[in-house]
Amino acid sequence: MYIFVFIDIIMNLQETIRRILREERKPSNFLKRRLEMLDYEVESLFNEIEHRIETYSGIDICIIYKNGVSLFETIMENSISAMYYNHYSNIDDNYDNSKEWAHEYLDMVNYIRNKYQDKIIKYYEDNCPSPKLK
């Protein structure tokens, strides 16, 4: 009888874990209040890239970045880094081990990917010619 109760507890625990993992995390209120600032960081870096293309005929980003994904990842990482130093540096003195910062970081990654990834990759593809097949 105890075995059946124990198995039932394990099954309920596994189902609860699966349910929690399926649920989407909502951004913290702290991040929600700063989404405009995050947008500003991403858009200012993207505008800088656009300016380079207009000024230097696009060759600059086509050489520096292998593809649209690497351009997007660079803009995303630099934007999040700026957000950390401008708004989150007080969270924890130990930047690499802060659980709170890890959650904020993942929320920012998801936000930027959902809002900007397709736009930035398309921009790269439109402005950088594909290498010709031999």
Q: What is the pTM of this model?
A: 0.72
DSSP letter for 94, please.
Answer: -
Rounded CA separation 72/124 (Å): 9
Average pLDDT of 43-61?
76
Residue 130 confidence (pLDDT): 72
In the chain, domain spans: 28-127
Q: What is the pLDDT of residues 116-134, one digit of tens each?
A: 999 999 999 988 877 654 3
* pLDDT of 20 higher than 70: no
Query: Any long-range contacts for 110-114 (C-beta under 8 Å, 24+ apart)?
Result: 111/27, 111/31, 111/35, 111/38, 112/38, 112/42, 112/76, 112/79, 112/80, 113/76
